[in-house]
Amino acid sequence: MAVSLTALRNLLSDDRVLSDDAHVLAYESDGLTAFKAEPRAVVIPESSDELISVVQWCQCEGVPFVARGSGTSLSGGSLPVDEGIVIALNRLDKILEIDPVDRVAVVQPGVVNLEVTRAAQAHGLYYAPDPSSQTICTIGGNVAFNSGGAHCLKYGMTTNHVLGLKAVLATGEVVQFGGRSREQIGPDEVGLFCGSEGLFGVAYEIALRLLPKAESFHTVLVGYRSLEEAGNAVGVVIDSGLLPGAMEIMDALAIEAAEAAVACGYPKGAEAVLIVELEGAAEKVAVEREKLDAILAQTGAFATRVAVDDADRMSIWKGRKSAFSAVGRLSPDFIVQDGVVPRSRLGEALRRIDQMSTETGIRVANVFHAGDGNLHPLILYNGREEGSLEAAEALAGRILKMCIGMGGSITGEHGIGMEKRDYLGDMFAEDDIQMMKDIRAAFDPDQIANPGKMFPGPEAPALSQHGVHPLEAAGIISRE
């Protein structure tokens, strides 16, 4: 890139435009560590005005940019563009407002997900979307990738909790979509912006919907002798008319890993565990827990543990939340997929994954959001063995195609990013993708905002690295 960074340094202070190798290399990869690319520079704005100026500079100079929060994307969504710049949003980290009457939080994009709940809890409110990386991932990244979590069936994803946003588009225009009302008039531009994977521009102020914290919880951990029994139990719970806040399943391999990592005390000998959580007014939960316990007693479970208090509840969740990083103990490398299948076909999907695993000799651990059919097969491989990554990727591709064939989706919550862009065409027809491209062009005619993501194309960096994310290895983040 021939463009000088001098003007950029004049916009921000010199120490916030980093271009030496020691600094930029820290940004060469994100949560999808199989990819890396070296950016030309990393820019760290400290105000919305600075951010806007940086994007406008990119537009004027034709420099591609990638906005980045904590870099926890599992789809390579915040992977830099070779010779482009990374706009690190971590210093735009102010919670601008918590309004208990409107039940709204207004935040900057670099605010960490869990901080919103921490700020709101004094008012008995919380922010519902809870990706497993919520202790470190940022709201800006959550908005860009429409992040999910364990409570999506009942509460939806990030997009269901964003009321309005101010953004600088790739054209340099400053726009406001939505507001602080839960209602709006005209086409839902907020909904369109959420999950656009950074291809439209960068949100710099986001109004979030806050919910009242549930008064009471009933969390049950159930052990089964087979994965199929656990899957069937989910169907029975759903058909009963209950609407649990969360339903999660882990298979034996994932349990083994979690047990080794955090000693979560899950039932010994279980081929699968199911976590079901009810929440709500105490009177309501008291009635529903009787119903749930009676249902679960008929599902062939060999062990049942009910959380007796909040600490016990947290310990049940600890095993689940640590599962992915724990799998790193079983294998030097792994790929995590997040395809979705219709819930009633979960059992079939798991059988087929098991079959593929046996055929290929590649181990697969399964952790998934059973309530909404969102699979998270962890495909284990050793990147030091030649061809191992490619074989794991081939298996991941087969699983994604299986999800599409079953009427599901290639991604439930991680986004397409760099990783799944070659499968977009398997899920959508040519005219559908062309429409998406036309919409992208409306926001970013020069294709400078996060190029090379979502759409199949020639801009992908080479596969070059593997391994667990450094933060994951340190136990700071985990994958949903």
Q: How far is the CB of 368 from other proteins (least distance, A)?
A: 11
Closer CB to other proteins, 242 or 391, in the complex: 242
Site size toward other proteins (CB under 8 A) is: 94
What are the structure tokens assigned to 30, written together? 């994100």
Please report whether residue 148 would count as binding other proteins according to CB under 8 A.
yes
Q: Is 299 left (phi over 0), alpha (psi -120 to 50) or beta?
A: alpha
Q: Is 451 in the site for other proteins (CB under 8 A)?
A: no
Shorter beta-carbon distance to other proteins: residue 159 or 315: 159
Using CB under 8 A, which residues numbered 202 to 241 contact other proteins? 212, 214-215, 235, 238-239, 241
Q: Does 332 bind other proteins (CB under 8 A)?
A: no
Which amino acid type is present at position 100? P
Backbone φ and ψ of 45, nearest 5° = -70, 150
Place of tokens 């349990």: 255
> Measured from the CB atom, is 21 or 215 closer to other proteins?
215
* Number of residues that this document lists for the chain: 480
Q: Give the footprint of other proteins on residues 165-194 (CB under 8 A).
A: 169, 171, 173, 175, 179-192, 194
Contact window for other proteins (CB under 8 A) among 9-17, 41-49, 89-97, 283-291 = 283-291
User: What backbone phi and psi angles, to 5 degrees, belong to 319?
Assistant: -60, -45
- The single residue among 277, 288, 419, 480 that binds other proteins, judged by CB under 8 A, is 288
Would you count residue 262 as binding other proteins (CB under 8 A)? no
Footprint on residues 374-393 left by other proteins (CB under 8 A): 374
For residue 249, give the amino acid letter.
I
Residues 420-449 touching other proteins, rule: CB under 8 A, are 420, 424, 427-429, 431-433, 435-436, 438-443
Binding of other proteins by 37 (CB under 8 A):
no
Q: Check: CB of residue 34 under 8 Å from CB of residue 335.
A: yes
Mention every residue, 6+ apart, whose C-beta is less than 8 A from residue 285. 215, 216, 217, 218, 278, 279
CA distances (Å), origin 168, targets 56, 267, 388, 448: 8, 51, 42, 13
| Percent of the chain that is helix, strand, coil (3-state, to 5) | 40, 20, 40
Residues 292-321 within binding reach of other proteins (CB under 8 A): none
Secondary structure (3-state) at 315: helix
- Least CB distance from residue 58 to other proteins, whole Å? 17
Q: Which of residues 62-101 bind other proteins (CB under 8 A)?
A: 99-101
Nearer to other proteins, 425 or 470 (CB): 425
Residues paired with 334 in a beta bridge:
380
447's tokens: 């294709």
Per CB under 8 A, which region of 105-113, 225-233, 257-265, 286-294 contacts other proteins? 286-294
C-alpha 479/C-alpha 133 separation (Å) is 6
